[in-house]
Structure 1
């Protein structure tokens, strides 16, 4: 599994960063999502990625198997 971000949909709410700051950050210029690591290292990280997808208000994040 890996996480994918559609930055054109991102509104910069930062919910992903709050959910998993080791995986997500925000662009300093416009606040859009930056992915720091595409693939989870363990089950706990996988759960955090799923939660980040779930809480994203613009649905800019998705998981690809």
Structure 2
């Protein structure tokens, strides 16, 4: 029983009467390491620019 007199266990039927807590909404996306994903995108972008630049330089040296 809480201080205001309401008992948390009084509702036995439907337990989804309110929005779920943050802990109840834990999914793979909320635990995904987005910083690592951002670094991977940056590295892939730099690799693409590097390969594109080498291709352009190669074409100009023909």
Report the TM-score range of the alignment, normalised by the length of the smaller protein: under 0.3
Which of these two proteins has the greater Rg computed from alpha carbons?
2
Relative to its length, the structure with more strand (as a share) is: 1
Question: Relative contact order, CA 8 A, sep 6+: which one is greater?
Answer: 1
TM-score (norm 2): 0.26
TM-score (norm 1): 0.25
Relative to its length, the structure with more helix (as a share) is: 2
